[in-house]
């Protein structure tokens, strides 16, 4: 069983070296065959230079670099397209989710789940985040659950894994290219009857992180309504917690 991990990056020179080195260490400790595909999404800082150097030093690291922005979703899809693994994983470069949860993610994929998603809103989650961020996430989840008749804790956590065959079943229908991709991929899997599992994760907001709640979440309801219109009338298999 081979694991392919995709790490999409946009101007992450602060985090990328630590992320790739810790990723190598974590996968080696787990003892499986693996590859790490780092995708530079139109970076204008030193991220491509650092990633290229590490890819030359370590055979397990592959480097894909693009001059123009693809968007987070398209960057992930581009990485997955090059992936050789049976399981496809991605997580954020700043490692807000501790890599100790890789073992639990892979264990659930081994147990037959088609997708495994980290949850910052699970009752067992150890969360280091501001109150308003948690409230925005909970409100967003409630909105989605009502809209799609799902039972979802946290769709936007940047820590997810898929069985390759399940991912292939939905990727051609994907529309989102940026941050909403996280939500859309799971909603589509749910609607196609794939088994999805949420796992609690420890999550820490990094001060240097470039993702801002106020810049991202206001756009999501419009995207969600477009997706609902497309999926109208289709049954949904509730997500398993």
Which residue in 40, 41, 94, 182 is the catalytic one? 182
- The answer to whether residues 192 and 170 touch, using CB atoms and an 8 Å cutoff, is yes
- The answer to whether residues 91 and 158 touch, using CB atoms and an 8 Å cutoff, is yes
Reading the block at residue 114, the tokens are 């088609």
Residue 126 among the catalytic residues: no
The residues annotated with a catalytic role in the active site are 182
């Amino acid at each position: 069983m081979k694991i392919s991990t995709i790490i999409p990056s946009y101007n992450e020179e602060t985090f990328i070296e630590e992320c790739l080195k810790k990723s190598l260490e974590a996968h080696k400790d787990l003892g499986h065959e693996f590859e790490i595909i780092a995708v530079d999404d139109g970076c204008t800082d030193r991220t491509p230079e650092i990633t290229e150097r590490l890819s030359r030093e370590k055979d397990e690291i592959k480097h894909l670099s693009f001059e123009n922005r693809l968007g987070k979703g398209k960057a992930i899809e581009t990485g997955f397209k090059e992936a050789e693994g049976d399981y496809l994983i991605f997580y954020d470069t700043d490692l807000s989710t501790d890599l100790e949860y890789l073992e639990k993610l892979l264990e659930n994929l081994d147990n037959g789940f088609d997708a495994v998603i980290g949850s910052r809103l699970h009752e067992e989650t150890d969360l280091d985040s501001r109150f308003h961020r948690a409230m925005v996430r909970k409100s967003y989840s409630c909105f989605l659950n009502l809209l799609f008749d799902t039972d979802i804790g946290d769709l936007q956590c940047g820590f997810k894994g898929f069985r390759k065959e399940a991912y292939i079943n939905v990727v051609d229908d994907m529309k989102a290219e940026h941050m909403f991709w996280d939500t859309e991929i799971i909603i589509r899997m749910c609607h196609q009857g794939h088994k999805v599992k949420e796992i609690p994760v420890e999550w820490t907001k990094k001060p240097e992180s470039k993702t801002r709640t106020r810049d991202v979440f206001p756009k999501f309801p419009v995207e969600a309504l477009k997706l609902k219109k497309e999926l109208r009338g289709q049954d949904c298999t509730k997500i398993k917690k």
